[in-house]
Amino acid sequence: MADPLSITASVAGVAALGYSIAKGLYQIADDMSVAGLEVRVYANEIDSFAKLLLNVQSTVDGLTCSAAEIAKIKTHIKEILDNCDRILKPLHEVQEGLLPLLQRFRDSPSKMLQVALRIRWTFISKGKVLFYRELLQRQHQMLDTHLARATLVSVQSAMRTNPQLMETSKLLHASLENSVSALTFTISGPTAAQAQGQAQLLLGYASEAGPGQWQAGGGGSGTHSSADGLPVRPRSSQGVASPATTSTALVVVSSSHFGPDPGPALTHLTEQEAQNVLNATNLDIDDQTMTNMEKILDDTEDAEHKAVRMAADTLSNASSVSSSGSGAGLFAAAPGPEKRLSSSAALARCGSEVMGRWSVATKRVYKASRMRFELFFETPVFFVCPASNKRGPLPNAAIWIVDGTDRSVEQTRSLPSGGSILVQANRPSRVLLMSPQDVEMSTWLRLLQECQLMERDSRVWADEQYRRNEPGPVCNFGTHTLCVALQAKRRSWDAVPASISRPYATTTISHIVEIAAMLGIYWKEFDRSAGKYRAEGNGYILEGSHVSDLGILFTFQVCGRRQFAEDRIIPVDECKELAFGLVPTIFRDMQDLQRPAFATDNTHNLSVLSLGSRNELADTLVSFGCNTHTSNCLRDETKRHGHLFPLAFEITGMLGRTLHIKDSFFRSLPNPTFYRWNKRYFSMRKMLEGYDSQIRALPQHIEQIISLHQLSENINGLLRNKTQRDHQDKLGHAKGGTIYRPLLEGLHDALDVCDVYLKRVNRLVVELVLREHIQELLRMVNNEGPYGSTTQDDGTAGAREAEPISQVGQAGDTGKTGSHLRFDDLMTASPEERQDKLMQIYFRSLLPRVAEQASVAVRQADESENDDENDAGTRAEATTVWCTLVFRMLCWLLLHDFHEMDVQVPKSELLGSRQVVYIV
């Protein structure tokens, strides 16, 4: 705690020293005539500061706030006064050394002018003098800020008993805010940087030369000025300073300096006289002086930050008091200082520690009508689009695509201030957890950085896969139709609600879900009624909640290891729909990229499948003909909804559009279903082997069956090759897994063949076969109807019992296959046999009934004659369609993949929503 007597003594001592220096500088300026203008300006600054000191004691004595607050104010003022004393003493020495010199040369106007020019050069160009002058100005700003704050605190305290001081409080509030604005600008603006640079330059010299010796003939020793204004000694004492580097203060004084009547002949300073001037203006820079200068600079910066923090707290408290007052005060029209944190305090919230390189766009604009500054800052608007997109949500604003390149990192200002490249070239990034010094960083900046890492790491991984496989076409970033992009938006801090203390970025609820899916984040909670949102995964946490006066506010955190390799989702536009529980099918026009207005708009014609919840799945199946028993079964949690994996994935594989990008290695997709995809209970490779053994048992006289047999053999051969290669990689200790490119290409081509066939046949047949397959499958897994011990009435359309087939379209002899296989047989099978057992059940038990009932439904729909020839043809077509759908399902689920922890949360109605959300 500062002693009041020490405060009084310090004020008196520093004020007296300041008046003494100002008086001496005024006298020097008078002797220098027109050359003393700069010295007079310097004297005015010191005189003004000395007058301010006289108000310190009276202000402190008049404070009516608490004793603790008064002690705090006195302590900070005492620190400033101590700094001022250390700054003024060197200047006092310069002033005392110059006065005798000027008195000596008063009788020689020409020499007086030369001395005046040298003194003028000292005050406008000499680094040490400018250094002390700058520090003194900063002390002045701090002292002014502390006095304004002390007065405001005192008035706020008095307002409890005198409400009429409200208007005075508002005026003082504005005054303090402007004072803090100037001080904050000094800390972070070019003035502080200039002073810091001067200090660093000063510390680099063991000594500093003055103007040096000057002779009319231009010979002799001399100095020249560096680019920063600090004089530098020439390399040789015999050399002559070049015109390009000679200080303007050292030019030969000609008669033109004296006007049209130069008077007596010009007399030059002798070498000794020039040295005397140099000695008088030279501030000795020894080791002790260097240490003192560093100490003064450090103390000044610490005091400035304390002043800003204290003033910001005072402004915040004063704002709450002012806003609680009655009446429309002086600033009633302004939404700024009396309702929220001042722009001065907000400026610190928009610094590089919080916004990284986005802080370079932070500007303060003075509003004369409000007597205050308004703070403007820039933050990104995130959205998702193709890599070739040229349109964004903000008109006439540049669009920056996040692609992980150094150019994109620079454009999007993704790195924090002073940061380095995110990852090394051709190497994936390592674990990068948030360090303690990054806790102030806005989470939207962290989100932007992670999007850059996603693109860069996945590209590095893909390049490694291309290298490990045989040469072939490469999928470039330009073919991606799912990318994160952003535009810079200028915002005013006045528009930020009082409950928000950081600058925020914006996006839409639809885009935040899509970005989360791209980063591998899975929703755990998505409760729009309660306003609670939480997603986790891949080392990230994304949380959101509803904030009054704003909307939904999200925060993004890095909490662990993340990976963007094989698990990175396929960068294709349709993944947006999957993230909301919708699956585009092969029957939707490839050119139609418009989103459905509602989730179930196109489910009635198989264009889109809605699988995000039990009700959505049930309604989707009902929309293309499944009976009520099927929908009730799906809504009943006690019923089985699949065999080795849920029925929803089977439907997705049968009809879902191929989303794998040709020549790409990415396979993962957002899970569109509310079921978990757990591959530990089955092997898709063994299922394809079982399918191949069953399809070859069918008669090979139908072209599509032959094609399916050939495709199945080809895929199984590629699977065997992949197994051999994986074994070789394991023996060779290869780092990371290798994606077998021929297998991906073979699966993709097989799906294309299936799609051509399914689009060529009658759409009605496809719908009816799919309907009967779903109904029979649910009855089978739940041991209902002919698959159970007793026959149950499930509402299925009447059809004669079907027997295992021996030929396509004809019933066979049950004795050849033995008793019907049942679902219980699958459950009791060993892990090695269950996949083959499932295919046996499919072909021997499920296919006959599906083909029979589908053919009956087709005849009823066409109202055709029920003859044997039409019946056989319809059954053959239904069988071929069913075999194609099952094979397509197996290939689709093998080509694509879902993360085990990814489970869909119902939100399909938000697809394409433009509801704005905020990220702090």
* Residue 492 vs residue 334, higher pLDDT: 492
Residue 212 CA to residue 279 CA, distance in Å, equals 10
Residue 141 CA to residue 195 CA, distance in Å, equals 15
Work out the pLDDT band at 334, boundaries 50, 70, 90: very low
Q: What is the pLDDT of residues 263-317, one digit of tens each?
A: 444 456 677 777 777 676 665 544 555 566 667 777 777 776 677 667 666 666 6
Work out the pLDDT band at 870, boundaries 50, 70, 90: low
Closest CA to 905 of 332, 513, 541: 513
461 contact partners, CB below 8 Å, separation of at least 6: 428, 564, 565, 566, 568, 665
- Strand pairing partners for 544? 533, 554
Residue with tokens 């019946």: 871
* Residue 16 vs residue 339, higher pLDDT: 16
Go through 272-288 and write b for each residue having 16 or more CB atoms within 10 A of its CB, e for each that does not. ebbebbbebbbbebeee
200 has pLDDT over 70: no
Work out the pLDDT band at 611, boundaries 50, 70, 90: very high
869 has pLDDT over 90: no
| pTM for this prediction | 0.66
The mean per-residue pLDDT over the stretch 756-765 comes to: 94
What is the secondary structure of 133-193 as a DSSP string?
HHHHHHHHHHHHHHHHHHHHHHHHHHTTT-GGGHHHHHHHHHHHHHHHHHHHHHHHSHHHH
538 has pLDDT over 50: yes
* Residue 186 vs residue 442, higher pLDDT: 442
Whole-angstrom CA distances from 212 to 115, 249, 468, 835 are: 12, 11, 71, 96
pLDDT at site 28? 79
Q: What is the pLDDT of residues 807-827, one digit of tens each?
A: 444 433 333 343 456 677 777
Per-residue 3-state assignment (H helix, E strand, C coil) for 363-421:
EEEEECCCCEEEEEEEEEEEEEECCCCCCCCCCCCCCEECCCCHHHHHHCCCCCCCCCC
Q: What is the pLDDT of residues 213-269, one digit of tens each?
A: 333 333 333 333 333 333 333 333 333 333 333 333 333 343 344 444 444 444 566
Residue 770 CA to residue 639 CA, distance in Å, equals 20
pLDDT at site 7? 74
- Lowest pLDDT segment from 53-62, 384-393, 431-440, 709-718: 431-440
Work out the pLDDT band at 187, boundaries 50, 70, 90: low
Work out the pLDDT band at 527, boundaries 50, 70, 90: very high
pLDDT at site 196? 46
* Residue 145 vs residue 693, higher pLDDT: 693
919 has pLDDT over 70: yes
Work out the pLDDT band at 571, boundaries 50, 70, 90: very high
Q: What is the pLDDT of residues 126-179, one digit of tens each?
A: 667 777 777 788 887 787 787 777 777 777 777 767 766 666 776 777 777 777
pLDDT at site 859? 82
pLDDT at site 34? 64
Q: What is the pLDDT of residues 40-86, one digit of tens each?
A: 887 888 888 888 887 777 777 777 777 777 787 888 788 888 888 88
